[in-house]
Amino acid sequence: MPRYFLEVMYKGTGYAGFQIQQNAVSIQGEIDNALSVLLKSNMKTTGSSRTDAGVHAMQNYVHFDTAAEMTKDLVYKMNAILSPDIAIVRIYRSSADAHARFDAVSRSYLYRIYHFKDPFLRDAGYYFPYPLQESVLNETAGIIKEYTDFMSFSKRNTQVRTFQCHIIQARWEKVQGQYIFHITANRFLRGMVRGLVGTMLKTARGKMTVEDFRRIIAAKNNRLADFSVAPQGLFLAEIRYPEGLLIPLFEDSCIRS
């Protein structure tokens, strides 16, 4: 049966997260419902990344199988059905064994912090009105790239076989008074980015030393990390696949120019 990928983006505010959950509204559930209506079948998608409640995505993917004919106006019709908080960007065709989660080469996240009260950033950043040592933020970001085991930054009760993650980039930038953390890796653990950000902020405020930060990573003990930063500051920014895995089905139906 043919397999297709949908590129999606969404504002996670008001949703219980990406993954389908019982008695809760999820991003994946809304996408599945829209597909089911349009394709007149009970559709179940498989997602690339499971963002938590309140977390946003500039880019995420799901795949699904169907024998139904794909029409050029599918993206338009799905966007007409879906909430304004969820947008379908483009539909792709792929091989029957391509997998949205397992075939991803890398994932990139960003976390936005703002210092001054701004109602327009309330759902798109973390209000953190405390002085930060920028040099410490940069130093701790550099330390992250030295390690591969991030057990200390994985939430409890996570069902993973390994805590190994290959960090491709980790850096802070300051843009118009905001601090934005960028991180790219082959995979991430549940809560990992928020744990890293919270612990880096604690270090940059002088609540612990840079060596303390390094010891937390090496300790492989998540009781030492700080996961307290708010979900609305976190964005899944980009997912990359091997070249040629995804082929746009209708080149001119993309909502992005």
| CATH code (residue 69) | 3.30.70.580
Angle at 110 between CA 107 and CA 116, to 5 degrees: 170
- Residues 50 and 12 grouped into a single domain: yes
pLDDT for 215 equals: 98
In which element (H, E) is residue 237 found? Answer: strand 234-240
- Identify the pLDDT of residue 121: 95
Beta bridge partners, 111, equal 181, 234
Whether residues 22 and 90 share a domain: the answer is: yes
Does one domain contain both 183 and 216?
A: yes
pLDDT of residue 238: 98
Among 32, 52, 149, 252, the active-site one is 52
pLDDT by residue for the chain (257 residues), tens digit each?
Answer: 899 999 999 999 999 999 998 889 999 999 999 999 999 999 999 999 999 999 999 999 999 999 999 999 999 999 999 999 999 999 999 999 999 999 999 999 999 999 999 999 999 999 999 999 999 999 999 999 999 999 999 987 777 889 999 999 999 999 988 999 999 999 999 999 999 999 999 999 999 999 999 999 999 999 999 999 999 999 999 999 999 999 999 876 666 65
- Helix 210-219 × helix 134-144 angle, to 10°: 30
Q: Are residues 72 and 134 in the same domain?
A: no
Residue type, 216: I
Q: Is position 52 annotated as part of the catalytic site?
A: yes
169 and 226 together in one domain: yes
3-class secondary structure, 58: strand
User: First vs last Cα of the chain: how many Å apart?
Assistant: 30
What is the structure's pLDDT at 253? 61
Residues 113, 208, single domain; the answer is yes
Distance CA 95, CA 126 (A): 40
Q: Say if residue 68 is in the same domain as residue 111.
A: no
- 85 and 118 part of one domain: no
DSSP three-state, residue 206: coil
Tell me, what amino acid is at 39?
L
Q: Cα-atom radius of gyration of the chain, to the nearest Å?
A: 19
Note down the domain range covering 18.
Answer: 3-103+242-253
225 & 110 share domain: yes
Residue 108 pairs with which residues in a beta bridge? 184, 238
How many domains does the chain fold into? 2
